[in-house]
Structure 1
Amino acid sequence: MLKVLVLVALWCACQAQEAKDVEGLKKTVNSLARQMMLQQLFVEERIRSDGDSGIKQTRHSRDGTKSYFSTSFTDSRIAAIHDHTNNIRTVGMGEFIAVLNGVEFRTRHNDYRLLMPSKTKKTFHSVDPIPFPDVPPAVLAKKTVNEQVIEMREWFKAWKNQNFKVRDYRKFFKPVMCYLEGAWTKSSKSINEPFFSDRHFIDASSWFDLQEKIRFTSYTGRKSNAENYAYLPVKIMNMMNGTIPEFAQWNYRIVCSPVNKDIPLKRLRVVDDLAARVSNNKKTMKEHSESRAARFQINPFPYPNWPKTDRPIKRGFVDSIMEEIPGKDNFGANLVDDSFGLTSATFTNVSVPLNAAYYHRWFRVMRRDAMGVNVRARGYADNNVYMAMTTQPNVAPMRVTDCKMSGKGKARKRTCKTYEQRWTYAIPLEVIYLTPLYNWNPYDLEYKGEANRPLGRTVNMPAVKGGQMRNGGLTKQTAYNGINSRVYYKTPAEFFNGNEVNKDRADTAKGVAGVLDRNGEVRSVVASGTRIYLRNIPGIGTMRTRYPIMPVHVEGSPIWKELDALKDVVLEQKKFLKLYRTPPVNGGSTGPKPTGPPAPKGVTLTMAYTVKNPPGEHTHTVFLSGEEVKSLNAGKAVTVDTTEESGHSHNLVLRQSNPNVTTGAKYYYVTCDGKKVCWDAHGSAMKVVKKL
């Protein structure tokens, strides 16, 4: 009996010790998890103090003798933008690294679609197609295609000249705001594709699989050839019962929303990203504004004309646009942020509660803070982040308990309240002007829907069984049999004059395609989807329809702000002359003028257009420095590399056919890649397109 009692006592002691050990392990796990949460907070806070929400970097594609030649958030194109004009709704945009509210992440190749938050559904990430503008009735009233072409040009002329008195283009040229949205979502094993692209997707079977692929490619320096990997961080959001971690998965999407007002073109001005200007052949501001490397700023003031002098402002014009865009609860939601016992109110009226379900930066509260103001900005020092509240259970919540003392004397007591909220974050990416070309179909070509559906696939099916697939040729056997979501060619070729503007190797549209109409006749048409630049319209010229306005992460850095101020002072000396401690030489109309002959000017050349297939129709650009022009004019040969187009470039030996002339110089190549003729049949004559 005594032995039994001893054994029972030992067992009880072991159980007690085991329970004590388990409790100790729980505390250890909780402490470690807590430290990991605080470490993640530290990383986010450090990123927040380093800069604002914005894009940070695109994939490295070039280097040079100066640091500014290498890729940053831009090189020859901002945020890797390009054209997929042959797709009905696809907007070309490559990979980039971005920061949203202190979270740094890397996207896949985006190529997003013109979709908007749903107006009828509340389900997570439900979207609707953005309506395309109508065709002006004055165009449709014309009986022939040629007459419609002439009338349609007049509408584009009115838009370019911003003249709505004779033709009110504002009804048919509609701006949309496209934005980058991110959120901490509840973690799951399966991949949740955040937004649809008909060209790209996250190529992983699970979040763990994606993480391993990112770890491997970062370790080895490789990449997904289709650019379908994304680095999307994970963190511990909360601890259940102090022992079970609640993980949150960062995810993002790119969506658009119609703007409920006109944005006059004069509201947009190019941002002077000086490194991009210098590295891209020393472009003037005007030349830079006409390139794919440019980003723009929208005049924040209520009036469309820019003020003569830059000055501070809080809530501006872009705020009024973003405040029309809902978060993940979609249109029609109404949520109130009453955390810490202070209800958020609109910026313009403190007595009107703010609808926090829509994206916003600025708001007010009833009581003034320790600095004596009641105006608030989302975030501590983030100039760019827009936030929206949501009730979507897929978004990971954050909780806080706030305690306050209330009452007087003996009745004074401590009252606590726990708040649980879910938030998402966004920055504007670009303004896209939708034009009547999306809907204009003067040849009445049959639209057969999505390309991957049975009817859509008939667009490319051969004329006879086993024959050649239709590829948009100009014969009845090779012309597309109607159009679909990826073969969206319906604008009459004669509407434009010339080739695609600033064509990029990532662009996918053909120059001119043949499409069979409903009577079996071949119609020569061009792509009708989204372009950065419209082709040349006779009598009007080229026009831009995509205006990147994305902020840049480093703009929030004190170093960037100092350099930005220095850039203005140096490049606008007359304006800032009084800031100089000593008068600048040749600045502000003071000091001696330079003597001697002027430095030779550079020249931009293009090669003869080729249609050889492969690689398909294209040309190349060559930039000659002033010294190279001087050598050519002296009768010497110069070796240069062309720009990369259609996946290749050429090495040329150039000469000037009429040396020792001051105007009208003519250039040609002697050899192309070491041969007398380029392998893809470019003619030898070079065309002067711009003098620098």
Structure 2
Amino acid sequence: MKLFILVCVLGLSLAANPRLQKMEEMLNDLTRQLVSQQFYVEERIRSDGDSGIKQVRRLSAGTDSFNSETTSAIHSHPNYKDVIGFGEVNAVLNGVEFRTRHNDYSLEMPSLHKANYHLTEKIPYPQVPPSVTAKHTVPEQIAEMKEYFRAFRLQNSTIRNYKPYFKPVLCYMEGNWEWDTKHLHEPFHSETHHLDAMDYDNLADKVRLMSYTGMNDLHEDLAFLPKKIMDIDSNGKPRYAQWIYRILCNPIHSDVPLKVFKPIDDVAFRVTRKYNMSTYSRTEEARFTVAASANQAEFDEHEGYGKFEDRAYAKGLLDSLMHGVPGANNYRGGQHDTEFNHTALVAGEGRDRPENTARYHREYKLHHGMQINQRGFSDSNLWMAQNHQNKVASVILRSCKTVGTLKTNCTSTTEKFSYAIPLEIIYLNPLHSWNPYNLDMKNESEVTENGRKGDSHNANLAYKGISTLHFYQTPVEFFGNVPGQDVGVLDPKGAIHRVMASGIQTILPKIPGVGEVRQRWPIYPLHREGDSVGKEADALLEMLNHMSSMSPIFQEPATQGKHETVQPDLHFRLTSSHMNPLDRHDHEFFVPATDWEQLLKNDVWVHVLTAPTEGENQESHSHSLQIRLDKHTHKPIIQKCDDQNGKCWDGHTDFEQVTFHEF
């Protein structure tokens, strides 16, 4: 008891100690300085560029800087039912820079019925057209289904009414600050990846170690997600906030014609591959922008996308599409922004109507005029949505009126926002639902039991049905019997059927009588595009690509003379392999045209490195190949693969050339 009284007295003495009070004030000032320092870092990033993708993981290098990866992060996992391939990226959202894990996100949207924080639900796939299911034989169904794909590729509803069966969805990356900085949770679902840590502090420690050593996480399950002091409470105690992000999709309830997509030039990639714009726009690496309005684009049936006149605009089609995307309140939550006694109104309208700021928007107007205001100081890609979720960290503005030495009429304003950028528009199609052989959907262990690996000639090795991880149900004849991409699956009666993957792909294999159909249209913005230097570079690129029409802009006219035309790199793909413990997969590689010519004329070997595979359950890997002519057949063959003669360690023995076809 005496000890307790002594401690209390000592505590009171310390509380009254002016030196201790001074130290508390200094600690409070230092905490506020940390808040200001973090804000300074974010402001510096905001001034460096727009919200958008900044970097992707480097996998290769070369004699020039543009020989390494640029900004393409998308890839395909068509063998999965619900996986959309998207790799690791450095991204910026409203000045917050972070690095993601390998994403491979699922086809999910915010909850339609509840406003629970981060509650989602699956997006349904389009149904099979009744005119297809009405056919009595599989060949007849194939022929009818092709007509729908031909109508979609040509955007011609007179061939078939394709619009109800080719449904566009807008997929986006969203980020916000959370109050919970301890309990790690997955902000969005992925079939293949997850954050590999016990809590956020453990995640930060792992990322620091990886950055310090330069190592890459084998499973690509780490992410750099910053933490900061968000606020200081009335007792001077700091409140910490954790940055999180997620990737979701939003169904678009109207048709988005293909003519609104304009290819964005990636001259670094084109120079590396020696591609012209026509070829580049048909690669998986191509990136697009959305026209200001559907009426702006002049439809070109041969090209498969519109021709555009570049122009500035305040509000366009992409704004309308993003406004259909809800923030953290989900679809059921509406909200109005009334900060500083001004209500944010819908931009671009003559009448004054409050903006539903719970949906993503980047422009608004105030009641005192028609001028459209943009969110942010100078960020063309900053879409924001307000919310009232308790878990979302807020910025609180406290203000008082001072009368003499007293503060009166104190008020506080609390704001909660999340931020987003569009990633891509995906056209879901009937192949995801079409199952003409009535193959059973089973669990994974049943499909691959007893070492089954999809052999199309042996009933004991064919897949026993399909699963979400072995999603093969499209008849191989639909794609014209593509070598190495089909598997064998048993129907309920035990008959083998040759089928191909039915999941989401960037570009579908060529369909006989139809051509190649692009399913995924990447539209994500880049961080550098908001930099003044980036704008100058893009303008210069536009001048160089259109020297004739831009000739009045040049200070001196460009000279015309004889020049040699560079030939594009040759594109090849290794034949598929599914040697244990790996699943079925392939690789692609490129050979410069000059090297290929030397190989054919002078019988020299060519060294290439394949791109890392994105197979089913194996880790990403690549191969080092030596290619030369066979002395007997004079056909190019694999001489060595990873220092092994004639064959790769995982079973690849041959390769085939990939050609690009018109849409």
Deviation (angstroms), 1:145: 1.1
Deviation (angstroms), 1:689: 4.5
1:432-479 residue CA offsets vs partner (Å, 9 max, x unmatched): 11000111111112224xxxxxxx2453363xxxxx233323333233
Rounded to whole Å, the distance in 2 between the matches of 1:131 and 1:689 is 33
Instruction: List gaps (5 residues or longer) in structure 1.
Output: 1-7, 406-412, 449-455, 463-467, 501-509, 587-592, 659-664
1:286 aligns with 2:278: yes
Amino acid aligned to 2:591: F
Within-5 A mapping of 1:319-398: 319-349=319-349, 350-368=351-369, 374-398=371-395
Deviation (angstroms), 1:13: 12
1:404–1:511 Cα change, 3 Å: farther
Provide the residue aligned with 1:410 in structure 2: none
Q: Normalising by structure 2, what TM-score?
A: 0.88
Do 1:117 and 1:126's aligned partners in 2 also have CA atoms closer than 8 Å? yes
Rounded to whole Å, the distance in 1 between the matches of 2:112 and 2:574 is 50
Deviation (angstroms), 1:487: 2.0
1:262 aligns with 2:255: yes
Within-5 A mapping of 1:586-601: 586=560, 593-594=561-562, 598=564, 601=567
Amino acid aligned to 2:227: V
Deviation (angstroms), 1:286: 1.4
Provide the residue aligned with 1:48 in structure 2: 46
1:435 aligns with 2:429: yes
Deviation (angstroms), 1:537: 1.0
Deviation (angstroms), 1:168: 1.0
1:640 aligns with 2:607: yes
Q: 2:113 aligns with which of 115, 120, 130?
A: 120
Q: 1:66 aligns with which of 64, 67, 78?
A: 64
Deviation (angstroms), 1:584: 1.1
Provide the residue aligned with 1:297 in structure 2: 289
Do 1:459 and 1:470's aligned partners in 2 also have CA atoms closer than 8 Å? no
Rounded to whole Å, the distance in 2 between the matches of 1:526 and 1:652 is 30
1:606 aligns with 2:564: no
Provide the residue aligned with 1:409 in structure 2: none
Bigger drift between 665-674 and 117-126 goes to 665-674
Do 1:652 and 1:672's aligned partners in 2 also have CA atoms closer than 8 Å? yes
Within-5 A mapping of 1:476-487: 476-487=459-470
1:677 aligns with 2:630: no
Q: 1:574 aligns with which of 528, 548, 559?
A: 548
Rounded to whole Å, the distance in 1 between the matches of 2:463 and 2:592 is 41
1:326–1:66 Cα change, 3 Å: same
Rounded to whole Å, the distance in 1 between the matches of 2:203 and 2:644 is 46
Within-5 A mapping of 1:451-530: 456-460=443-447, 462=449, 468-474=450-456, 475-499=458-482, 511-530=485-504
Do 1:185 and 1:248's aligned partners in 2 also have CA atoms closer than 8 Å? yes
Bigger drift between 484-493 and 555-564 goes to 484-493
Amino acid aligned to 2:486: V
1:101-159 residue CA offsets vs partner (Å, 9 max, x unmatched): 00000001101000001101221111111111111110011011111111001110111
Q: Secondary structure at the match of 2:77?
A: coil
Q: Secondary structure at the match of 2:384?
A: strand
Q: Secondary structure at the match of 1:356?
A: coil
Do 1:603 and 1:690's aligned partners in 2 also have CA atoms closer than 8 Å? no
1:276 aligns with 2:276: no
Within-5 A mapping of 1:234-245: 234-245=227-238
Provide the residue aligned with 1:453 in structure 2: none
Provide the residue aligned with 2:309 in structure 1: 309
1:542–1:166 Cα change, 3 Å: closer
1:610–1:119 Cα change, 3 Å: closer
How many residues are paired up? 629
Amino acid aligned to 2:433: N
1:381–1:679 Cα change, 3 Å: closer
Q: 1:623 aligns with which of 579, 583, 591?
A: 591
Do 1:445 and 1:517's aligned partners in 2 also have CA atoms closer than 8 Å? yes
1:147–1:313 Cα change, 3 Å: same
1:195 aligns with 2:188: yes
Rounded to whole Å, the distance in 2 between the matches of 1:13 and 1:645 is 64
Within-5 A mapping of 1:528-547: 528-547=502-521
Provide the residue aligned with 1:163 in structure 2: 156
Q: Normalising by structure 1, what TM-score?
A: 0.85
Q: Secondary structure at the match of 1:192?
A: coil
Bigger drift between 682-691 and 341-350 goes to 682-691
Q: 2:420 aligns with which of 403, 420, 426?
A: 426
Provide the residue aligned with 2:628 in structure 1: 654
Rounded to whole Å, the distance in 2 between the matches of 1:232 and 1:156 is 42
Rounded to whole Å, the distance in 1 between the matches of 2:505 and 2:187 is 24
Within-5 A mapping of 1:102-251: 102-251=95-244
Deviation (angstroms), 1:374: 3.3
Q: 1:559 aligns with which of 511, 519, 533?
A: 533
Deviation (angstroms), 1:686: 6.8
Do 2:184 and 2:200's aligned partners in 1 also have CA atoms closer than 8 Å? yes
